[in-house]
Each structure stands twice: as structure tokens, then as C-alpha cells.
Amino acid sequence: MTLVTIDCDYVGPEIACAYLRIEGDECAFIEANTSRATPRLLDALARAGKAPEDVRWIIVTHVHLDHAGGAASLMRACPNATLLAHPRAARHLIDPARIIAGATAVYGEARFRELYGEIQPIDAARVRSLDDGARVPFGAAELTFLHTRGHANHHFVVHDPAADTVFTGDAFGLVYPRLQRRGLLAFPSTSPTDFDADAALASIARIVGLGTSTVALTHFGVHREVRELADQVRAWLYLSARLVEAGGHAAELEAELVGEMERVAEERGMPLDADDLRLLSLDLGLNAQGLAHAASRGA
């Protein structure tokens, strides 16, 4: 059993990763990041002594572009691979026009191209949608796919018993290495537009209930402190639910989140410096937008 963590260098080091999982003669990539990361993934494959033709599965936990933007690029490079996705995500990978239009509207054409490069359609014959509880053979092992709402309605996680881990995408929080200077510091992603606190809490419980010794986060890395991580993310989700109930504009909610993050860090004896705050600014801003959107729809 081989598991390789690949830093995709998405807007900086140790922010987003993908995983190369090798079982016997078969390989799988979990997460594709962006097309900018494809050379890094293929380099990791080569360093493991494997060829693109050995890749059987390319898996994306959901269709957000820091997870799936590079799927088409990676599929072109791996001629024998099948892409595995949530049913609600698969259609956007086959026809990415809507996600391209939405991201371009947010970032602008130039910034979109800088971040994500080119996103092309994927042949529908090479895309497989997986229902909740689906099991897929992988060498002598088997992968199980569990739908996990809360962060996104088109999200699943991948249970890999042979590796004793779960690839959690964004369903089990963010753990940036830079912020682990004084012990574990985890928080959730509540970005627009599907945030649902109750569903997110249920997803946390479902992942913990699998009983694996580790969890493999896209943001970032493999962690053994499964229950402590879950407890920290739950605490943030309870706060998020209270903020949604209270309502407010995104700017007000972001100030609340920044204040709470500063309090949590101070409690650990780790006051946040300017680089920490820059690292957190994108996530906490998006989290606030997600909470504001949830409040506006009465979630």
C-alpha cells in the first residue's frame, strides 16, 4: 500500500494537496486541483515508478475548482483512467460551461486563467457517477464513496480501509501546516452557496464513525488526531449556525470569524502574525459569504 501526498502549490505552498494512491499495479489520484498542478501529479507518479497508463481512477470529492479544475487536464494525460464523481458533480465535469462562467464572473477573465488555466469538457463515456455507498474495486482493495453534504451538495468522501483513512475533501475542515505551531488548529469551510450546518455536522459524525486511524484532508495533509480535529470543526460549525441564525452582511460576519480565530490562536499561545492573517483572509472571507448566503435563504 502506497499513499503519496502531493503539494499542488495552489496560491502558495501547503494550502491544497492531491493524493496518489497505489495498490498493486493500479494507481488512483484523489483530487486533481487545477491544470497548473497536473505536471506535479504526473511527476509524483513517475517518482513512484508508475506511468500514466497505470492510473485506473481519478477521483474528485466535489467540483469546486481547487479540487476538480484540473480533472480534464489529468484525464488527457492518463488514457486508461475513469473519472469518479458525485452525480451532481459529474454533469459539470462533462460540460463545465456553468462553472467556468461562474468562476470567471467572480475572478475576472485574467485572474481566472491565472488560477485555473484551461478547463475542457471530459468525454461522458469516461465519467462515472457514484451513488451514496458505492463500492469500487482498486487492485486487491476496495474504495467506498459516501455522500457528505454541508460544504457542498455535490460532495462525497472516499473511505479506503486498506490505507485506514478517509479522503475528506472539504467535509472535515482545513488544517494548514503553518497554523499548527502550537498544536492542532482546524476550522471548517463554509463557502457559498451550499453551506448547511446540520448537514455538515452529520457528515463529521459519519466520517468519525468509520473508525479510521487517519483522515486525509485536501487542505492539508494526513492527520491522526481524528476526534480532536472533529471536535474543533464542530465547535466552529456551532458558531457558524449561530451566526447564520443572527444574520448580517458578509463584512460583519467576516469580522466575527476573524475575531474568533484570533481568540482561538491566542488561547493556544500563538498570536496571529501578518502572514497568518493573509493565509486566512481568503477562507474567512469566503466562509463569511457562505454564512451570509445561508442566512439570506433562511438556512
Residue 245 is predicted with a pLDDT of 92
Residue 89 is predicted with a pLDDT of 96
Q: State the CB neighbour count (10 A cutoff) for residue 15.
A: 21
- Please give the average per-residue pLDDT across 264-292, as a whole number: 94
State what percent of residues in the chain have pLDDT above 70.
Answer: 99
* β-sheet with 82-85: strand ranges across: 2-7, 17-23, 26-30, 55-59, 82-85, 127-129
State what percent of residues in the chain have pLDDT above 90.
Answer: 89
pLDDT tens digits for 207-257?
999 999 999 999 999 999 999 999 999 999 999 999 999 988 999 999 999
Amino acid at 131: D
The structural domains of the chain, ordered by start, are: 2-225 (3.60.15.10)
Helix locations, the chain, DSSP H = 38-47, 65-68, 71-77, 87-94, 97-107, 109-116, 197-209, 226-246, 250-267, 274-296
- Please give the average per-residue pLDDT across 269-288, as a whole number: 94
C-alpha cell belonging to residue 298: 433562511
Quick one: pLDDT band at residue 143, thresholds 50, 70, 90? very high
C-alpha cell belonging to residue 148: 457528505
- Please give the average per-residue pLDDT across 192-198, as a whole number: 92
Residue 277 is predicted with a pLDDT of 95
Residue 299 is predicted with a pLDDT of 53
Judge contact between 275 and 178, C-beta under 8 A.
yes
Classify strands 134-138 and 55-59 as parallel, antiparallel or unpaired. unpaired
φ and ψ at 130, to 5 degrees?
-120, 125
Closest to 288 (Cα-Cα) out of 242, 253, 262: 253
pLDDT tens digits for 156-185?
999 999 999 999 999 999 999 999 999 999
- Give CA torsion, residues 160, 162, 164, 165, to 10 deg: -20
